[in-house]
Structure formats: C-alpha cells, structure tokens
Chains A and B, each alone.
Chain A
Amino acid sequence: MVAKKTPLYDEHVKLGGKIVDYAGWFLPVQYEGLIKEHEAVRNDAGLFDVSHMGQIMVKGKDALDFLQYLLTNDISKMTDNQTMYALLCYPDGGVVDDLLVYKYGPEEYLLVVNAANTEKDFKWMIDNKKDFNIILENISDQIGLVALQGPKAEKILQKLTDYDLSSIKPFHFKRDIEVAGVSCKVSRTGYTGEDGFEIYSSPEDIVTVWNKLLEVGKEDGLKPAGLGARDTLRFEATMPLYGQEISEDVTPLEGGLKFAVKLDKEADFIGKEALKKQWEEGLKRKIVGFELLGRGIPREGYEVYKDGKKIGYVTTGYLSPTLKKNIGNALIDSSEADLGNEIDIMIRNKPVKAKIISRRFLKK
C-alpha cells in the first residue's frame, strides 16, 4: 500500500523535511535536525503536523454508556469542552489503543487515536456496538491537525486569534474559534510535556494555519519539528507510545498508566475484570526508568539482565537531548524494579551497567 500524504505534505517538502513512511503516512522525521527541533520545543516552541492521527466520532443517546463500556477511564467525570486520556482494552487487559476523548456534549464525543490503529479501533468499536444507540463515524480524512508545543506556544498562537487563549485550561478545548482567519478547534493538549495547543481545522485550512504560525512564530524561535523530536520529547515526559510501553501484550497497569484505569468505576468496561485481578494479585512485571552507567545508547528491544538472568527488555531508549544522559524505559520483573537496583542492558551482545531511576526524567 502506498503511504498517504497529509494536507501539509507539500509544505514539508518545501521546508526540506526528510520524509519517511510512518504508519502509512508520508511525514517528516526531521527538518533542520532532531536535536535542534527538540530543543526548540523545550525552550521556545515547535510545530508538528499530526494530521495523520485517527479521529472517530461517537454520537447518540447512549454515547456515554458506550464509552464507559469501552474505555478504562471514567468518562462520566468529563465536562463539556474537556479532554481525557483513556485506553481501549481487550478482555484480557491487553491494549487495543490509547487515545484522547473530547467531550463536545452529553451525546457527542470525539476520539483521537493512533494513526496506525485507526482501522483496528474503528472495527473494534463496531464489533462492540451491541445494542447501544449510537452512530460511529471515522472522520480522519476530514480534518487537518497541527500541534504547537513549547513555553512560547500561547504567546505565538495569540497573535493569530482574538480569543483569549489563557481561558483554555490544560486538557480543555474550544471549538469554532478563528485562528489566522479560519475556523478551528483549539485544544490545550500535547505529547511533549510542554504547554501547548493542538489545532484542528479542515484539511484545506490547516495549510493556512501552519504557514501563518511559522511566519508569526519565527521571532519567538518557533521551528517546524518532525517525528524524531516528537518521540524523544514524549519519552522524556513519561508519555507512553503504543507498541512500546503498552501493546496487545502489555497492559496499562504494567505500562504505568494506573491513573487512567478506573478499576472502581461503576460501569463494567472491557478488560476490567482481568485488570482488577492483575492489580490485586500484584504486577509480575512493570515499566521502569533506567540510566545507563556505562557507554552506549539503550534502544527499543535490547534485553535486560540481572546476575546473568534475563529479566525483561527495553521499550524506549535514547541519549536524552534535554538531559544529555543515556536513559530508557524497560519492562522488567517487578522483583527487580526497585529504584537504585543495578541491572545490565545488553548492547550488541555486551552487558552494560544501568541503574533504575524514576521515569519522571525531567523532574528536578
């Protein structure tokens, strides 16, 4: 299958982006350079094309009940114009996908899902629709989406809109506001650990938003940023990536996402029983953070040993651009997961010493 182009494809090419096929989409892995883009987001601001994300509308009288049945988080706690992180699980507790829920109203919700999982998620929802009185619609192709992230995000975006952005609190959004002369939904969310916004519009209008932002943001250090920086930023900020920290085989509890799994929520949700059992019996393995003490860079898939015995594997690892240290996440036996424990990461068949540290890498 030939990869698809987002509405911003031509802009990426013009900006010299290095285009790769990611989850079936042609997207830039970097423009000027991963490290510069990463630093721009931490210090000033970066702009990402995330139009590839999947978007599924859930509408109807039973929309809330359906989402309560499908998702691990407690959707009944949401107010209008709020967003919430949640997981879609299999009956055995494995993860179908992780996503953001946008509450438009009591009978109208938008789910923003991982691009590579969109078809799978949509099918999963249809298969579990049962007698719920709802309408499901995959509107992924009808929307353009950019993420403006970094400490200067509000200052930059405010230049393009009369709407008072300071009134949009984290994990909240506002629909139908004018940005750069076009109608947008502006959400104070992101995947970098910095303040910032995700801006939704029609595929045609997103080109205007993108170009205007780069124009007015230049004096504040705004740079276009690619998929490479997106991953290093989310990793440093303790955010999971589907397929690595969580997957069909790794539950959200093992992945350190207990905060989004409401085992005491009244409604039964798919996977609740298995997850409850796993929690009550105690996790046999879990995701930990580690810092390499020897030379090398830990990478996804590298094996983890303790005293010559295999205890797990690395789920994400980098030379952290912010901390300048070799750090990673690993899924390991819980018995070896105490902070300070020394483990070995196998790098090209050689054990390299590492120490378990908090996954809140950026916390001082």
Chain B
Amino acid sequence: MKVLKDLYYTKDHEWVKVDGDEGYIGLTDYAQDQLGDIVYVELPEVDDEFEKDEVVSAVESVKAASDVYMPVSGKILEVNEALLDEPALLNEDPYKNWIVKFEFADKSQLDELMTSEEYEKYLEEEV
C-alpha cells in the first residue's frame, strides 16, 4: 500500500496535508483498497465547522457506507465537487483527490496524528 511522506495520518486511514493555516483531508490508499469500488461521496457545506473526530463526509462503496472523520478541528473552505460525479477518483488516486479543504482551528492538534513512518508501522502491526 502506498503511503506518502509529508502527510499526517489517522487510525481511520485518512490523511491530512498541511498548507500554511489550511489543510486538505483525503483517504489513504489502504482505505480505498479496503472499500473497493467507491460509488458515492457525501460532502459537507462550505463554512461548516467541525470538531476533531466529528463526521465530516461519507464515502460509500457498493458494499458499505463509511464515515469520514475530521482529523482535527476546522472550518470547511472548499469541497471537491468532482467527487460527486466521479467518486471513483478516490480509488484511482487517493492522495491527489482530496475530499475537503479546511482552515485549522488549532494547528497543535496535528501532534496527535501519525507521521508517514508511524502510519506505515501502524499498517504493519495493527491491520
């Protein structure tokens, strides 16, 4: 499974990319592989605010629905509307196709997430 450097990771197999005070959230390669063919994505509204661990989006394969949790607290700046018409983009390139762009409420929450090395270890040991 592909794991990219310079991203932060959660135990729910999501990634966070940091760009100043803004960030992007997406699914890891492992998550998209586990889900299988993704056929539906539900997105939040721009300006919605979420606490860390709140459900921000839902991603569904033919087989099952899976919640996407906010890895850190923040306000939604942009949603990836291309996913509404083409949910399979998340299978094709899960690191390029982010789900939401957000503004950090508290950037120090990143400390609670895993680095790429830690996530790779987590995949090996826990999964």
Chain A contacts to B: CB under 8 angstroms: 18, 29-30, 33-35, 38, 228, 232, 295-297, 299, 318-319, 321, 348
Contacts and interface: CB of A to CB of B under 8 A. Distances in A.
| Chain B binding surface SS class | strand
Contacts of B36: 18, 29-30, 33-34, 228
A228 B63 contact: yes
Contacts, number: 37
Interface string B22-66: 000000000000001101101000000000000100101111110
A297 B63 contact: no
Nearest to B67: A348
B94 to A, nearest CB: 16
B37 A34 contact: yes
Nearest to B33: A18
Given A348-B42, A348-B58, A297 B65 contact: yes
A34 B63 contact: yes
A296 B42 contact: yes
Q: SS class of chain A's interface: helix, strand, loop or mixed?
A: mixed
Contacts of A30: 36
Interface of B: 36-37, 39-40, 42, 55, 58, 60-65
A35 B36 CA distance: 9
Nearest to B88: A35
Q: Which of B37, B58, B62, B63 has the most CB of A within 10 A?
A: B62
Contacts of B63: 29, 34, 228
Contacts of A34: 36-37, 61-63
The 6 closest A-B pairs by CB, nearest first: A34-B62, A319-B39, A35-B37, A228-B63, A297-B60, A297-B40
Given A34-B61, A35-B39, A319-B62, 13 more contacts: A33-B36, A34-B36, A35-B37, A35-B62, A228-B36, A228-B62, A232-B62, A295-B42, A296-B40, A297-B40, A319-B40, A348-B42, A348-B55
A34 B60 CA distance: 13
Nearest to B58: A348
B86 to A, nearest CB: 14
Nearest to A348: B58
Contacts of B62: 34-35, 38, 228, 232, 318-319, 321
A33 B42 contact: no
Contacts of B65: 297, 299
Contacts of A232: 62
A30 B91 CA distance: 15
Contacts of B39: 35, 297, 319
A33 B60 contact: no
B83 to A, nearest CB: 13
A19 B124 CA distance: 18
11 contacts: A34-B36, A34-B61, A34-B63, A35-B39, A35-B62, A228-B63, A232-B62, A297-B40, A297-B65, A319-B40, A321-B62
B53 to A, nearest CB: 16
Nearest to A232: B62
Given A228-B63, A297-B65, A299-B65, A33 B58 contact: no
A348 B83 CA distance: 19
